[in-house]
Amino acid sequence: MKMYQSKLEQYVQFLSPRRRHGRNFLDLPDDIRCHIYRLTGVVRKCPIYLYWDPRENRNILGANGDPMPCLTASASDLDCDCHEVLDRYYYRPIPVSLFCCSRDVYREASSLFYGNNRFYVQYTGLGSFDAMMGLRPKTLAMISYLHIVLHRTNKDSSLSNCNCEDQEIRRHPLRRMPPRRYRDLISGWKAVCMRLAESITQSRLEMCLICDTDDINVAAEVLGPLRQLPLLAAFSVRFAPPRSTRNIPIDNSLHVNLYHMAREVSMGITGRTSNHHNQTFKYNLLPAELQLRILEHTALVAPEGYLAWSPGSGFSSLDELYGYRWEPQLHRCRICDPLRIMCCLPMLPKGGTWVSQCNKCWKFPLSLFLVNRHFYQEATRIFWSLNRFVVFDIEAYPSDVIGPFPPILEPVQLTAFMSPYAMRYLRYLQFNSPPTRGKALEAYKVMVELLRRSADLPRLTITLDLRGIESYEYEYQDPISEEQEIQTYLELYMPSVIELVPLRALKDFFVHIGTLRSWRYCVENKHALWERRLETMVMGMEYRSPERVKRDVLYAMV
């Protein structure tokens, strides 16, 4: 008897889908398709979690059901763009259906998803690395940023005015006890490094590693598997958060050894140690014009062209001051943020035992000022003439010195840092919310007097940003008239403006004021009118500030 297998097509008729005529999604330009992918949530600010969360009993990467609270938004560690519902942020579901449309759409969407997102891996117990180990080698090769937390001490809310909701049990630095958990962590970490070594491409992946420990042997076991990885684009590692080292002396041998150990591995894994050429040339034999061009492309000139000064922390890039110290969600350096940002006061000094090999962070180029006298003169001229300086917090508030890396100076005014020789090269100076009374106003007067005596006034531009000055005199009273409110704010503005009258020979003088509550009509005209009146008080009645230059400076600061 013959046996044969029947087919389903013998009993059921399948209708082929109708072909659609005309243009489809793949016919759109590349930039339009990429923009659509981003709008659907393929690329996001909030990191993609690649670990098993025992509290939710599911893999967060596959979260596509009920909304879950976003750990990033509650911890304020990284930038986040999750949905806000009833004053709580919920993790946006990943558009899994988009990856199932077609092979071409999957190829484009997956390339954006893995290449432009930040992937977050945290060890919470056995099986925490399963989601990452389950990714294919081609998928791991597309990842450009990986944030791995092996062990992190909890945030100490007693040191700050923190209202975080993720109050965890007090966790000590990582040690070998209990042995079972430590053995599982190290074995899983070694497997992850081996998997990455077989999959990732050279100079593409940026990695941030956090493992809070005070045991040098544990640190050595954590750093050991990293040596088998190919060169990374950037790497940072933390062994102690900033707040944990506030009372440790600067010469503490344990943290010194941890720092140097982390720095050695960080330099080697990013190829910084192998980039030194054996053959050198004499810099002073180059033409003078070429020497100046080389110095102008060093850290003497800030990337954004603006440098901020605050008495408690000295110089920093304007983007760092706005993003890190005041609004962490706006900061752009994703390598350094997870290492130093914690739930604490806004003016958190930099400290802790951590190392970061990242070219995006601006640091004061002290070494260029210490080469010789010729270098010092040229570096001074370039630094003070090509940067625009924005002064914050004229009144110095005392802050704790946190060490051992890097050491923090005591609060100091900008005038104490500048010499008369450097002040004559100053070309742009801006005061944000200048003081109106007290000792801070006296320090402001001293700085104005030094500018009058030493600065090259015909080539100097000064800006007063008065938008942050507010009057609370009538906050809880009945609405007042426009004339009364103007008079109130003029009394606040006048001390800062009057002190600049001796600087009438300035190249330009700009004033920016805030919008008064009583201004309901012709707001722009009233802004321009009162700003011009304040400017003419310093520069004379015939002075008219160039609106285009003033507007460009304001937009650069927003």
pTM: 0.65
The single-letter code of the amino acid at 87 is D
**DSSP letter string, 122-164:** E--STTTTHHHHTS-HHHHHH--EEEEEEE-PPP-GGGTT---
pLDDT of residue 229: 92
Q: Which residues pair with 236 in a beta bridge?
A: 208, 356
Chain position carrying tokens 């009372």: 247
How many residues appear in the chain? Answer: 558
Structure tokens belonging to residue 82:
């999750």
Name which of 532, 558, 552 is nearest 543 in CA terms.
532
What are the domain boundaries of the chain?
288-345+357-471+479-557
- Strand 388-391 versus strand 306-310 pairing type: parallel
For residue 206, the 8-state DSSP code is: E
Per-residue pLDDT of the chain (558 residues), as tens digits, is 555 555 555 555 555 556 666 677 777 887 888 888 888 888 887 788 886 554 444 444 444 444 555 655 544 444 566 655 544 556 677 788 888 888 888 888 888 888 888 888 888 888 888 888 888 899 899 999 999 989 887 643 333 334 444 444 456 788 887 788 888 999 999 999 999 999 998 889 999 898 888 888 899 999 999 999 999 988 988 887 765 555 555 555 677 888 888 888 888 888 876 555 556 667 778 888 888 888 888 888 887 788 888 776 677 777 666 554 444 444 456 777 677 655 443 334 455 677 776 656 677 888 888 888 888 888 889 999 998 888 876 444 433 333 333 444 455 667 777 788 888 899 998 888 777 677 777 878 888 888 888 888 899 998 888 877 665 454 545 566 667 677 777 777 788 888 888 888 888 888 887 777 666 666 677 777 788 888 888 888 888 888 777 777 665 555
The secondary element (H helix, E strand) that includes residue 44 is: none
* Amino acid sitting at position 403: G
Per DSSP, the three-state class of 37 is helix
Which residues share a beta bridge with 208? 147, 236
Cis peptide before 406 (omega within 30 of 0): yes
Q: Where are the beta strands (DSSP E) in 443-547?
A: 461-465, 508-512
Looking at residue 196, what is its pLDDT?
93
Q: What is the pLDDT of residue 407?
A: 41
